[in-house]
DNA sequence: AATTCGTGGCG
DNA sequence: TCGCCAAGAAT
């Protein structure tokens, strides 16, 4: 390990001292009331970890509660209908995760009789479980040693060790995992892993970190070299394109006209307003909405599809009407659900 | 290696 | 309003 010689770069704590401080801090100041911590069981840890991928804790919490009520264990989830799974996930985003979790339950039931394995290597074979999640399950569900590297750990390590450069590069990713392995304690890894995440979430935050309260401040490279605000190195962002979308809206006494989207692309397997590939003069305008995805902006135009025959003719995929009272049997994308809710509220008044 | 997967909150 | 970013994985 080489350290950039800026100012007085401190010598990092040895792994045992580092882990000891993280664990002690976690026990005194860390989070202990997160819903999934009340279980610490493999199923609950798996559910929470997949929900938490690229998603903030506060967003996940209500979904987690609802999920556990609907699908309390591996067997229940494994035998559930996909539409029910997607309905419970609707609004949470990254919908492949829902299908991965569904497949994961079926995999664990079929392969392991409902018992998750306790090693990162075997966990990696579970659908939706990557290197981070495999380590997290090993730590949280089994309290066994395994490294975790997520956004929090990357940021904390980049600052603590004074690592510059693009953290998403293969080279630095390898370095971060090596550091994470080296600093993983042989005991109490559940508290250690939770401590790393809690430090990253509450003290070593992206903006306005609270270095005064940090148990690692004394030997933090970024703190000593006044680089807390410049580490980790900001990566150059490329701007996202704007796409146009054209949807059909039709609400009758029989329900809402919907199509199930294909398994690839945006909103896979969710139910949405039927989408046209291009603008059409055959319909009148009903409304519009805008939506921002991680990789493009969507400007959507919604047509009045009073004539269902016309809609069918412009479409290859099967359309169906879903009664309003049956909308909780399918998963709707967030902006579609919003648009629909607005219309339904108008009808109630 | 680079893309493609959502959504909501916050400064 | 706008960019940032969050317990990443799959391809």
Domain ranges of chain A: 15-224, 242-348
Does the CB of A232 fall within 7 Å of any strand B atom?
Answer: no
Question: What pLDDT is stored for residue A3 in this prediction?
Answer: 46
Specify whether domain A242-348 bears CATH 3.40.30.10: no
Question: What pLDDT is stored for residue A312 in this prediction?
Answer: 64
Does the CB of A91 fall within 7 Å of any strand B atom?
Answer: yes
d(CA A220, CA A203): 13
DSSP H helix total and E strand total for chain A: 14, 8
Which pLDDT tens digit goes with each residue over A299-321?
Answer: 999 999 976 666 666 665 678 99
Q: Is A49 designated active site?
A: yes
Positions of chain B reached by protein Cβ under 7 A: 1, 3-9, 11
CB proximity list for A92: less than 8 A, separation 6 or greater: A51, A55, A59, A60, A63, A98
> Residues A17, A49, A125, A308: which is the catalytic one?
A49
Same topology, domains A15-224 and A242-348? Answer is no
Question: What pLDDT is stored for residue A349 in this prediction?
Answer: 59
Which pLDDT tens digit goes with each residue over A8-28?
Answer: 889 999 999 999 999 999 999
d(CA A60, CA A330): 20
Q: Domain A15-224: what homologous superfamily?
A: Hypothetical protein; domain 2 (1.10.340.30)
Question: What pLDDT is stored for residue A237 in this prediction?
Answer: 76
Strands of A119-219 (E only): list them: none
Which pLDDT tens digit goes with each residue over A230-273?
Answer: 999 987 777 899 999 999 999 999 999 999 999 999 999 999 99
Positions of chain C reached by protein Cβ under 7 A: 3-10
């Amino acid at each position: 390990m080489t350290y950039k010689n800026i100012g007085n770069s401190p010598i990092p704590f040895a792994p045992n001292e580092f882990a000891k401080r993280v664990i002690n801090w976690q026990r005194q100041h860390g989070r202990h009331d997160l819903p999934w911590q009340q279980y610490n069981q493999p199923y609950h840890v798996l559910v929470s970890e997949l929900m938490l991928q690229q998603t903030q804790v506060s967003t996940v919490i209500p979904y987690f509660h609802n999920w556990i009520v609907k699908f309390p264990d591996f067997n229940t989830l494994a035998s559930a209908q996909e539409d029910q799974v997607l309905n419970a996930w609707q609004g949470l985003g990254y919908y492949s995760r829902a299908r991965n979790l569904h497949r994961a339950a079926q995999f664990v039931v079929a392969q392991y009789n409902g018992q998750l394995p306790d090693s990162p290597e075997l966990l990696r074979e579970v659908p939706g479980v990557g290197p981070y999640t495999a380590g997290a399950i090993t730590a949280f569900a089994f309290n066994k040693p395994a490294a975790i590297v997520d956004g929090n750990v990357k940021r904390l390590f980049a600052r603590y060790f004074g690592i510059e450069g693009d953290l998403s590069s293969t080279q630095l990713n390898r370095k971060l995992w090596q550091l994470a392995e080296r600093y993983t304690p042989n005991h109490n890894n559940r508290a250690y892993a939770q401590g790393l995440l809690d430090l990253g979430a509450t003290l070593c935050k992206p903006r306005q970190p609270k270095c005064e309260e940090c148990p690692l401040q004394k030997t933090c490279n970024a703190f000593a070299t006044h680089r807390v605000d410049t580490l980790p190195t900001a990566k150059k962002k490329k701007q996202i394109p704007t796409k146009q979308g054209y949807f059909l809206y039709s609400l009758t006494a029989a329900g809402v006209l919907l199509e199930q989207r294909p398994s690839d692309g945006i909103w896979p397997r969710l139910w949405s307003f039927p989408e046209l590939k291009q603008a059409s003069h055959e319909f009148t305008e009903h409304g519009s909405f805008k939506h921002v995805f991680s990789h493009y902006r969507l400007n959507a135009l919604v047509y009045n599809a009073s004539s269902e025959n016309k809609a069918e003719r412009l479409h290859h995929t099967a359309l169906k009407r879903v009664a309003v009272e049956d909308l909780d049997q399918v998963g709707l994308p967030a902006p579609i659900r919003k648009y629909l809710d607005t219309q339904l509220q108008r009808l109630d008044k």
